[in-house]
Structure 1
Amino acid sequence: HRSWFLHMRDVQETDRGWYMCQINTVPMISQKGYLQVVVPPRILLDKTSTDVVVREGTEVTLDCSASGYPQPYVAWRREDGKAINYNGETVNLVDGNIFQIRKVSRLHMGAFLCIASNGVIPSVSHKIMVTVHFPPMLTIPNQLEGAYISQTVVLHCHTEAFPASLNYWTNEKGDMIITGDHYEDSRLTNGYSCHMTLKIRTVMPNSFGSYRCVAVNALGETDGFIKVYEISNPHSNDVLEHTNSSDSMTSIINNNQIQSIETNSIHQNNRNSPKSKSYFDPAANLKNSSQQSSNLIRSNIIVFCIVHLIIVYLIT
């Protein structure tokens, strides 16, 4: 019993096919076998889309071609993992070699990955950047801002644009506002979005009025207005209330003092009034004394009679 082996080095796709082992005996003995050569996927760059720049609202088509054996399966997804708004549907993965968006928006901006896989490791991917150009768009959270003298107030303005817009503030006269002692202009950028703020330090009478937020790029210009109006200082109201309270207490004390003085004056007048003056009347005093003596004599007679009757009763 003997065995024969066929060893192949550096197998290529062209080596795929039928192989036969033959023993030259009588009769001849043979055995066939098929060699399947699998090939990992590979992106064909010459047939694949490159980075694209499109205008918002237009159509964009991306193509990704791959080779391999078995034939690779191709799918698309965003590099950042976010969901894709694909022609009215929200999906995470789009199948097929062709990725087409009929109406592209700024939300589609970013990197897309074309991924090819066929079960043979490793899978491969290719990144295509989609850049969406659109004119500036502006939103203002509060178009009216109340402030009082000496207060610090901050105005807010949000813009979106690509290419990035030139953003600035102007005052009511149309003059561009530059950061200084009275104003502080700052920006916070995130992708195609920008958050603009204008800090007005120590509001003065000439600080009230309209402020204009402006965003300009090669595709257009937009602006918005914020009106700063004067309000009363709430801290001054507290001081006024405290003053009024103190004045009220003083008034109450003064009124009580006045009432006390008036009462004392009335008592003094009553003491000095002839109607209330006390005096000694000799005739009235003599009359009262006579009446008291008569009543005393009458009482003594009654007592004497009662005692006399008791003595007589005891003797008899």
Structure 2
Amino acid sequence: MSLLCTRLVALLACVIVAVVSANDEISGELVEQKLQIHPAGLEGDKYVVKANKAFRIACVYNDEDMENVHQLQWVNEDGKEIDTASSPNLFTIALHERGTHHKKRSLVFSKINSRDSGTYTCVANVNGEVTRRSIHVHIVGNIEWNEPRDVVGAMVGEPLTIDCGAKGNPSPEIEMTNEEGELLNDLADTYVVVDNEVTIDHLSKEYQNNKVRCLALQHIAEYATTSVEKHEITIDVWYEPEFETKEVNRHAIMGRSANIYCNVSSSNPPVSHFHFFKGTDEIDRDDETYEIIEDFESQTAVLKILSVDEEDLGTYRCEVNNGKAKSHQQIHLHTANPPNQVRVSLERARKHSITWRLVEDGSAEDEDLPVISYTIEYVRSQLLDDVDSSEEEPALNNEKLHRAEESVWKSHGSHVVRTKNPENLYEITGLVQNAEYVFRFSAQNEAGSGDSIEITARTHSEHHEELTAFSTCNIPSITLMLFLTWFFFRI
């Protein structure tokens, strides 16, 4: 009989345990429905967080019966409430969930560290019913990389080794990939991998800006997860400054200023110093006969000779340095003639534009430099007509008048520089209808600019087609000729 009673008691105990377990499961499901944690963690609401990072997690009360957000709180392992001002590094923020407007309280670690590891519980107290949901935070210490730099470099032709080794707790395993995620162990033709180091035996420009990704994998056994930290290193390939050609010829006009250009076509790092030499002597930047202008953004420098004489002709050397290597370019300065006065003819005129035909003077000699561009200046003739001369001596009047006219050209005139084209036609647009303009033309070659010529012309007042000039000249009487041509045309 006693044996039977013992068995009945044991059976009843099993039933009670089963019922309690079932109730616990139902209760757990209800808690998860009532209190939702965002973002979701690992199984069992576990979170693995890197030290010294910001970490934020929200607890949402997923029902309408909570009247005040203060009914929702976070507490630590000691049951101490974490409010909006607990500490600068740990506090909570009370909000309403977007869309549903359910009450929400976020737990915020502005800079989490190892002492923040532990259990945190979200507590909801509604109508005397208390609901809790806990999370478990595990802090993983920072990885200490053997190579902390984000960019490493070496000269072209030299070997480059990148150390991806790292220290941490737990001790990390290291993997190395390129930026596409391919393991460097599988790219033996490009990289040599030994332990945690990757080497390029012979660096070339093709490696510029290639990236090596160092991955530190830390296995967290108690959470059955792995923490991965990435350190991306960019390869910087250094090489000496380069020029399109190592030796160039430049030309200058005696008595005029001349520019000797030093243009670096490519350099890594960018050039940081320019130096000019004449023979073996460096040109002094304080020498008043020269001016040195540097533009590091465009990697260009100009040696300006203010007035060229015989002693300025010869060979110059521009030496450049980028902090890793230096190189130079030789510039041979020769004398040359300016272009002859340009030959101009009116091709056509319209309401708001005039087209000119510009050609080189046929008397140019074979050794003269070719014309490369034309400068076309223009101004309303009325502005020049309004310039009055003084009552002083004629010679002084002419000088003063010239200065006054040049002031008008400078303040009211427009100018364009047009590269020489095969058709020799150059259209000036944006002119005022039925207005008279004075045009000034000059030709440029590599050495400088030729003498200018002035011509007066008028735009149309009607919709009829253009006037074509039938003659060309380069003498001052062309102004009168064009005026008469326009006069008879308009009649």
> Which TM-score band applies after superposition, normalised by the shorter structure?
0.3 to 0.5
Greater relative contact order: 1 or 2 (C-alpha under 8 angstroms, separation 6 or more)?
Answer: 1
Q: Whose helix fraction is larger, Structure 1's or Structure 2's?
A: 1
Bigger radius of gyration? 1
